[in-house]
Amino acid sequence: MTVKDISEALNLKVCSGHNGLDNEVTGGYTSDLLSDVMGNAPAGAVWITLQTHINTIAVASLKDLAAIILVKGLEPDANTADKSNEENIPILSTELQAFEISGRLYNLINKK
Partner 1 sequence: MRVKADLHIHSVISPCADLEMSPVNIVNRALANNLQLIAIADHNSTLHGPLTKELAKRHGIHCLYGAEITSKEEIHCLCIVETENQRVALQDFIENNILKISNKPDVFGYQVVVNEQEEIIQEVDYYLHAALNKSINEVSEFLQSIQGIFIPAHVDRLKYSLTSQLGFIPPDLKFDALEISKNSKVSDFCSHNRIESSKTFIRNSDAHYIHQVGEIYTEYEINDISLAGLRDAFDKKNGAFVYPFQ
Q: Which residues bind partner 1 (CB under 8 A)?
A: 33-35, 37-38, 51-55, 58-59, 77, 79
Largest CA distance in the chain: 36
Least separation in angstroms between CB 8 and partner 1: 30
d(CA 4, CA 40): 24
- Residue nearer to partner 1 on the CB measure, 7 or 56: 56
- Residue nearer to partner 1 on the CB measure, 35 or 110: 35
Least separation in angstroms between CB 95 and partner 1: 18
Burial of 23 (0-12, 13-18, 19+ CB in 10 A): buried
